Amino acid sequence: MTTYAIQVSGLSPSTTETQLSEFFSFCGKISSIDHSPSTQSATIHFEKPSAAKTALMLNGGNLDGANLTVISEKEHPDEVPSSPHHDGGFDQSDKPRAGIAAEYLARGYVLSDHVLQHAIELDKKHGISSRFLNYMQSLDTTLGEKALGPQKTLSSKVQETLATATQQARTIDAQKGYSKQATDYYSRAVVSPWGQKVMSFYTTTSKQALDIHEEARRIATVHKQHRAADSVNTDSSTGVGSAAPPLDAQVYTEAAPGPEDKA
């Protein structure tokens, strides 16, 4: 099986292979890790070149108190855009890099604005995968029809009147429990008052570092609410990344934007 490797150096002496796996799993599926504690370095092998390319944006990121150097000994090929799966599924590596960066911040990792800007530039240069865009569009349509009626999308209705559409969505959701059936962060977020901000963030390439921080706060809020609602399951799944350090309460405890916040 062909894999796509990146090299990491400058690791903390206390960093474990498990921590490396958790950290780099936000980029995409990992095939294997060659960890050398004696040289404080590692080679991460990914299943897809897009995952390896995403990992390179983490050069200068922080793990376990150490600033990482992340490079690749060879240039990884660009992937040919693929048709969306019939079920709208997508891989972690299909997500916008800015979205992945937001997931890191939401889980308590430290990324400099230089890293965030690199993520934004990658999105502008390479665009967003067709599979991911198709998934977001299908959410807009299917959830819109369920909450608002036939041939209705949340985006079009929200543009007409944010408060009214949000209340309609919430009322019907309370009756039928669509958000309880949702399996990931995106479908939960779309039925929220700030769903249009989420939709815009993940489907456009016009972003700033501030936008990434704001999305990180939204993700952190959903994590917090989900944990509170289901304290038994401590490994709550919201469709973003994997386990990471506790959130810094001083940075990411802001409430999610309310209905008054225009997209």
Per-residue pLDDT tens digits for 105-137: 999 999 999 999 999 999 998 888 888 888 887
Same domain? For 189 and 211 the reply is yes
Structure confidence by residue, pLDDT tens digits, 46-58: 999 999 999 999 9
Q: Please tell me whether residues 175 and 88 are part of one structural domain.
A: yes
Strands, sheet with 30-36, edge to edge from the N-terminal-most edge strand: 30-36, 41-46, 4-9, 69-71
Q: What is the pLDDT of residue 248?
A: 37
Q: What three-state secondary structure class fits 200?
A: helix
Q: Is there a single domain that holds both residue 103 and residue 47?
A: no
Q: Let me know whether 159 and 106 are in one domain.
A: yes
Say how many domains are in the chain: 2
> What confidence category does residue 82 fall into, taking pLDDT thresholds of 50, 70 and 90?
low
pLDDT tens-place string over residues 208-245: 999 999 999 999 988 887 777 666 544 444 444 433 44
Q: Kindly state whether residues 5 and 85 are assigned to the same domain.
A: no
240, amino acid identity: V
Question: Last residue of a domain, which of 33, 60, 76?
Answer: 76
pLDDT value of residue 103: 95
Place of tokens 């390439």: 205
Does 70 share its domain with 90? no
Q: Are residues 61 and 149 in the same domain?
A: no
52 and 182 share one domain: no
Residue 242's pLDDT is: 39
pLDDT tens-digit readout, 12-44? 999 999 999 999 999 999 999 999 999 999 999
Separation of alpha carbons 233 and 18, rounded Å: 21
Show which of 54, 76, 98 is a domain's final residue. Answer: 76
CA–CA dist 153, 151 (Å, integer)? 7
Query: Comparing C-alpha atoms, which of 247, 183, 182 is closest to residue 216?
Result: 247
Beta strands of 37-74 (E only): which ranges?
41-46, 62-63, 66-67, 69-71
Question: Domain range holding 181?
Answer: 81-263
What is the per-residue DSSP string for 221-250? Answer: HHHHHHHHHTTT-SS---SS----SPP-TT
Do 64 and 99 lie in a common domain? no
Predicted local distance difference test score (pLDDT) of residue 86: 41
In terms of domains, do 90 and 40 share one? no
pLDDT of 151-162, one tens digit each?
555 555 444 444
Last residue of a domain, one of 58, 76, 94: 76
Per-residue pLDDT averaged across 137-146, rounded? 67
Choose between 166 and 253: higher pLDDT: 166
In a shared domain, residues 20 and 139: no
Higher pLDDT pick, 170 / 230: 230
Q: pLDDT band for 79, please (50, 70, 90 cuts).
A: low
Give me the chain's average pLDDT, please. 76
Q: Give pTM, 2 decimals.
A: 0.74
Q: Are residues 58 and 166 in the same domain?
A: no
